[in-house]
Amino acid sequence: MKLLTLGLNHLTAPVEVRERLAFPEPDQPQALNLLVEEYGLHEAAILSTCNRSELYIAAEEDRGIKQAQQFLVDTRNIDVNKLSHHFYTLKDQHAATHLFRVACGIESLVLGESQILNQVRSALDTAQRNGSTSLLLNELFQRSLKTGKRARSETNIGKGHLSVSTAAVELAGQVFDNLKDCQAALVGAGEMAELTAKYLTDADIASLVIANRTIERANELAQRFTGQAIPLSQLPKNLTHMDIIIASTSSTNFVITSDMVRSAMKLRRGRPMLLIDIAVPRNIDPKIRDLDNVFLFDIDDLKQVVESHKKNREQEIDKVQIIIEDELRGFLSWFNALGTGSLIHDLRKKSDALRGIELERWTSKLNELDPQERDLVEKILRAYANKLLHDPLVQIRKFANEEDGLIRLDTVRKLFDLKDRTSPKDA
């Protein structure tokens, strides 16, 4: 059984590609069911954020990545070959290392951001509720969460409050000299909107409107941050008064269109409007950039904002890497042990099968022996097989604690022509 990752992120793909591969949380149960039931993967989890879309799977090595790719072709209507340069595929140790780095925030657009930990936890919770994870992925994700927590408690990688939300508010402060004179609207009422509301309030924003499909959630946020809640349907007529609009819904369609903004700008008498889209898929039609006095930024545009904050946090990466390596050793020892047990079982099973074949082949001759003599022949064959396997089995057990143990275990399987049929849930 192999641990595999297929994905893309902000380093390999622009937002217009990432949004095509995004899996909003409501869509994940169906996607996970398909991966396991229709595409034959043993385990599956989906980590989909504004920065990345990644499939974590337990599968047969030869088929796992191809199955995952076919899943994306069928469900996302994409040509994997044309987009192949955006994807990365990782196996075993490299897949685990990657998730540990993700959980620590060192693969994020905003280095060290803490929101990713909740996103990793949410990915695990969703997969567990759906029954698409078992022994391997449960252990991987739990250890990644532990690694991320250690990174933030033992280093300064997450010092301060830098996040996508803070970057958006900082960008607004660069466009408008004084946020105290600005009216802002948040479109969406999720975790990211909540963080943005806090930072806008801390910046003394003049007024805050929260627009959301579920008015109850909007009311809850509005009460906490002394704002006004409105249903999403009322957003168009409220745009006229808004200087800053920050969108972060899970919608797969544009919730703010070019026509909506064009109509609002006619009544703003030349006052500029700033729109910041921190959602993936994007919430705001990119055609809005063509309108006069309208400034639109998406999540990829925030890279310039966060760049100035990276230096202090970059100094902590080496410390984080030490934590990752420490936790990785523990995970790989556990993971290798899974492979060790199944390999030993398969070797003994093949030895017994070969012994049985040979006994069957010589049945006519063995029938000439009395029961005691036949029993002695079988004991000799069994003892010979056990002695022949003794040293290989000792070495196999040692592989569990070696860095390249997985490679060695795989080599043994190939030498003895053993197929990896054992699932982690059966190990």
Give the residue numbers marked as catalytic: 50
Which residue is associated with the tokens 């402060």? Answer: 173
- What three-state secondary structure class fits 367? coil
In sequence order, which residues have a C-beta less than 8 Å from that of residue 46 and are 6 or more positions away? Answer: 23, 28, 31, 32, 53, 54, 55, 56, 123, 126, 127
- Residue pair 83/163 in contact (Cβ under 8 Å)? The answer is no
d(CA 354, CA 360): 10
d(CA 103, CA 51): 13
Strands (E), 207-334: 207-212, 228-231, 244-247, 273-277, 294-298
Which string of DSSP letters, residue by residue, matches 377-424? HHHHHHHHHHHHHHHHHHHHHHHTTSTTHHHHHHHHHHHTT------G
User: How far from the centroid of its chain's Cα atoms is residue 322's Cα?
Assistant: 22
* Token duo for residue 362: 């010589």
Which residue is associated with the tokens 């012994």? Answer: 355
Q: How many CA atoms lie less than 13 Å away from 13 in the CB half-sphere?
A: 24
